[in-house]
Amino acid sequence: MSDHPTAPVILGDEPGTFPHGVLAERHPAIIRQVREAFPYGPEQHRALDALLADCTGGTIEPLPADAHDRRLWESWGMDAYAGRSWYDVPWLWSESWFYRRLLHAVGYFAPGPWQGIDPFRPSKLAELDSPATDGELAALDDLARQPADERARALLHGSLWGNRADLGFRLSAEGAEETAAVPALVADDSERLWPLLGAFGTGTLCLVADNAGRELVPDLLLIAHLLAHGRVARAVLHVKPYPYYVSDATAADVLDAVRRLTGAQGAAAEYGRGLWAALTDGRLILRAHPFSCSPLPYADMPDDLRADFAAAALTVVKGDLNYRRLVGDRYWPPTTPFAEVTAYFPGPVAALRTLKSDVITGLTADTEAALVAAEEQRWRTGGTHALIQVRT
């Protein structure tokens, strides 16, 4: 990206910053959560204790020689960062490294009884099975009475806001939202998104998923709607090849969500049956590329993944982590054009993201000023603001 604008890479080395808090406080809390989620044995408990000491005060140690993905991590910078503090390497890298090491600690990759057991599955299922999910699915019956275009807009906003969304999104509320002094939606390119879908209904939509559970359901509903109404001929849903960042969606999580829909009532079940049929006849394809769990920005994606995105009419990149990987995890000036930092991407790309970390691009100067005046810098990380950005 040497011919594009650059900004300082975000590290976790400065106390008081959001990245430092994640490394120093959130990661130890996640280790405690995982320890309590399953009756792991003494070996796993020792490994989790070692990881806790390592990630808070130790240095980066390479994976064991027999690790199945050691060569991948070597190509992703493991040897270059070996011996350095977790706080002194790019935050994007050290966060990914934490989850890879956590899976190693609980025996996820090793032959044995804990192989393939998702340490985050109990919390994912609890959310998916919650009464709140019932309410959101019931709202689909009201939505079914809306015209198809209004339904598509509502489902897009449902996908954007995830589990903070009312899937029966009331379009009449949009006018009030636009007149607020500090908008919840800090950038909205949605009118540029729709023309990319469904000129003839022959194109492919790639959707790079973010979280499982109640946030994955609206992503699947949006895909189901676009397929059912001929806006796209095919959808490719990119998920993580293994559990990652606590709640990131894997293929197993997609299947859980589709089952949740098919087991529901009314419109939700109809969406579920449509997704089931699309999976069986190849109109909906799951992809779990190793690079989806890499610690690098998408600018460094391998050629086969680049070809996947290049062939799509549109790639929709969901969520905060994927946004950081899309634009680069850097302290960009907020008015840096989104189109400039995504110029490397091989096809049209849209970001749907609620703001939960410092990275931001594509704001107008007026929007940035209003946000800072109202909230100082808290707007960047609080999850109360969102964006829809499109580069055609």
DSSP 309-342: HHTSSEEEEESHHHHHHHH-SB---TTS-HHHHT
Ranges 74-78, 211-215, 370-374, most confident: 74-78
3-class DSSP state of 289: coil
Given pLDDT bands bounded at 50, 70 and 90, which one contains residue 199? low
Q: Give residue 292's Cα distance to chain centre.
A: 10
Q: Is the pLDDT of residue 170 over 90?
A: no
Q: Is the pLDDT of residue 168 over 60?
A: no
pLDDT at residue 135, rounded to an integer: 86
Given pLDDT bands bounded at 50, 70 and 90, which one contains residue 202? confident
Residue 197: burial class (beta carbons within 10 Å; 0-12, 13-18, 19+)? buried
* Residue 156 to residues 9, 249, 297, Cα–Cα distance (Å): 31, 18, 25
Beta bridge partners of 188: 388
Residue 145 has what DSSP assignment? T
pLDDT at residue 175, rounded to an integer: 41
Q: Is the pLDDT of residue 173 over 50?
A: no
Contacts of 280 (CB under 8 A, 6+ apart): none
pLDDT at residue 327, rounded to an integer: 98
Per the CB < 8 A criterion, the answer to whether 218 and 132 are in contact is no
SS3 content of the chain, % helix, strand, coil (to 5): 50, 10, 35
CB atoms within 10 A of CB 130: 14
Structure tokens at 141: 């019956």
Q: Give residue 205's Cα distance to chain centre.
A: 16
Query: For 33-62, what is each residue's pLDDT tens digit?
Result: 999 999 999 999 999 999 999 999 999 999
Q: Angle formed by the axes of helices 251-262 and 121-128, to 10°?
A: 20
Query: For 330-351, what is each residue's pLDDT tens digit?
Result: 999 999 999 999 999 999 999 9
- Overall pTM > 0.75: yes
First to last CA, the chain: 19
Question: Over pLDDT 70: what percentage of the chain?
Answer: 93
